[in-house]
Structure 1
């Protein structure tokens, strides 16, 4: 006698419009409030007046307030939002493409490659070229990873991950050698701060680089949401749906590399955002990438805005790299994610 199994109870999740509305409101509020936090006491109204004056919809504001808001704090806060949102999207895409819930945007050696490029220009005293060098380093790491993965035959996700680990270790060793051999004086502190992730030097150029990468590449990745959903069920299922598996996977991985390279170029390697945030929002959004990606982007943006605010204020007047804050928050959250994943196929 066969005992019938009860039908699965459908999970009721909030509508996407509600999630986006709440997330967007939280992001705008976080941006405005975070700009007010600091030694100079400014209110939200004053911040709004400064922004309005630059948009041509307000009157004159005190020059000191204008410099604090428009030149120092606002570019940093906007860069944090762009980097946080971009890393969260990149992490979610990598976890889908590799079918590995522990994947993050730095899986293919991008972070170590960017670090090598950045450290090279820092020790040479040409920090103005840091974003360019970091971006070139990230792309060079991607090319090296794919070339190494191809040496053993067809490029599979597992082979690419292993190649990425090898390239990452090589670039990290080269970075350590450059620092050990050439760094002197205050350059040690500057290099260490960048390697641990820092937004202290953010400018409007940083906003343009990170924001442009997040908007352009993020929009393309969001447009590929249906194909990303197909990868969840494996390559065979994706191919049965008419998807060119290899071409799609490497096209999307290259886009993730471009996005990550642009973000790392202005922020350094900020860990745990791309790893933890997709898992943190998935209970609300479900696995569908049409819902997951935009909500993860908003959540990542809000998270990094406040993580960076803590990094620059909690030990004022001293500042710590924001990567320390994301690690302190990310490790406990990741432990909860692992505990929640018990009994699943990846536990």
Structure 2
């Protein structure tokens, strides 16, 4: 085997939904103010008895079912998250235990909003190197647990959820080369700090960086994969803010692509946002099987990572 591919996807969101009208009862805001500035209408929020590993396990189980596989068929579990409370057992180990996996390698990866695309690249590298044959790659975050619900600039953004991908070895690469990096001197623009930890950001700085610096990087991702932006059938960016997603997608030049806008209904779910949005697009049949899709994560640390994948 010379490459890897995404064989199937799955996603999960908690049942509780918070609308903009609900938030207007908590802070000085309105539905119009929120929609105008970030494009979000609703977000799903997990309860205190729904930990991150439970969200992740639900999404993983759905991905396995969609692939026609069992938990025993997986030898590597990577969970991208920045909101897990405990250090050990890590989230991946708890997911493996929930699913009844016999002896997988388990690791958590924290690159905040760019976590899933980093984790996907890590699984691809492991499979290409021969150390894994089939992996579960999961993005899961419980942003509600680190949100300051008195801060109207951030509480309108966040949501909870998980998305998962089954990644397996194949003869022809279905996951293109990753292009990843960061801007360390601007890393403080997105923060999850303190005890207890709280999410905060410099919104305008993130907006300017994302809309000006990311499009040329995303085009380089396409170049590494040997496709032009015009050939893309889908673009799934980190679902941070509709005011970032739409101009970045336009400047990439993906004129024929379906652009994921799951942020409208789900809010910013951090590492979960890309697999959550992609899984929904695939479930609805909006992107043909095998068609090229750009995945591009960005955010905390001002990290970024992207690759072009074949739609499962």
How high is the TM-score relative to the length of structure 2? 0.31
Name the structure with the higher helix share.
1
